[in-house]
Structure 1
Amino acid sequence: MENNKLVRFTIFLCINILALGVGVLLMDNGQTSPWYASLNKAPWTPEGWVFGAAWTTIMISFAVYMAALSLNFPFGFKPLMKLYALQWFLNVSWNYLFFNQHQTLIALIFIVSLWLLIGYFTFNYIKTVKYYTLFIAPYLIWMTIATSLNVYIVFNN
């Protein structure tokens, strides 16, 4: 069982890291771009290094969560994998929409959808994974902060 958990953790971690990498590639210089620097940002916007540290922590924690959750289903359980794939798509797409295309309103729709999906994972499976829910909490907390930052930019630029 522990070996199976480690294998699943490794698979989810690799896929999560891939999402980070693809997201960075799609960001068009992201926070260092002149466009982003010119935006009126929320007063609670963290320093740039916080984003990298937060996302690294989130993706590691989310891999632990998904490994634990997936043990409750046959490997490759389609409904769960569809939700996970949707999460991956929304996460990566937000980077492209926001930073590359400067479509802050469409990006807001994507980030709200992602926040709702992470909330669904958190509360729908809490009885299934019990204390492993703590491992998705950073994702939900960060999505709340990130969504508020996106909202601020939409309404103040």
Structure 2
Amino acid sequence: MKFVKYIIFFLIINFGSLALGSWLMENGPMTPWYQSLNQAPWTPPGWVFGVAWTLIMVCFSIYLAYLFLKADSKKLRLAFALQVFLNVIWNYVFFNQHLVSLGLVVISALTVVIYTFFFSNFKTVQNKSYLLLPYMIWLLIATSLNGYILLYN
């Protein structure tokens, strides 16, 4: 029962942070600024982003429930809070403020945080760590998209 409560708790926080990030970007991908950018040839269609983030946050929430049940600590809470902050703020920095370079720094930091979750907690939750793979893969794609925009605009 505690496991289900943790999943619900993390689903609320994770989808809440996605909603806040979406609100902060003010129609980001639909804005004339973003549409005018030279985007990477591997940029997925818009609908992929919603599907990807839904899958990512469901998997991440389940992963976090397992992890926090086994290893709740102040350090872990701070790492999770940092992940939420970086995930939310990237939308504002990149889409709202058009700070592509700073956006690349933020998304790179987010990537490091998520990869650190995977490698530093693998022994604790073992195979359940693979629930992070969608997030890890997506961050590599998103970071490359941000980097491409920085280099070719």
Within the candidate set 121, 128, 133, 2:124 is matched to 128
For residue 49 of structure 2, what is the amino acid of its counterpart? F
Structure 2 length-normalised TM: 0.98
How do residues 4-153 of structure 1 correspond to structure 2 at under 5 angstroms? Answer: 4-74=2-72, 77-153=73-149
Report the Cα distance in structure 1 between the residues aligned to 2:146 and 2:103, rounded to whole angstroms.
8
Note the C-alpha offset of 1:111.
Answer: 0.3
- Give how far 1:73 is off: 2.4
Which structure 1 residue ranges, 4+ long, deviate > 4 Å from structure 2? none
Task: Please list every run of 5 or more consecutive structure 2 residues that lacks an aligned counterpart in the other structure.
Answer: none
Mapped partners of 2:128, 2:12: distance in 1: 19
Aligned pairs, number? 153
Secondary structure at the aligned position of 2:70 is classed as coil
Offset at residue 78 of structure 1 (A): 1.2
Return the TM-score normalized by structure 1: 0.96
State the secondary structure of the residue aligned to 1:72. Answer: helix
Q: Which amino acid aligns with 1:31?
A: P
Cα separation, 2, equivalents of 1:73 and 1:94: 28
Which deviations, in whole Å up to 9, do the C-alpha atoms of 1:62-88 show, x marking residues without a partner?
A: 0000000001124xx211110000000
1:41-81 Cα distance to aligned partner (Å, 9 max, x none): 0000000000111011101110000000001124xx21111
Kindly, what percent of the aligned residue pairs are identical? 49
CA-based RMSD of the aligned residues comes to 0.7
SS in 2 for 1:65: helix
For residues 89-135 of structure 1, what are the alpha-carbon distances to aligned partners after superposition, in whole Å with 9 as ceiling and x for unaligned?
00000000000000000010000000001000011111111111111
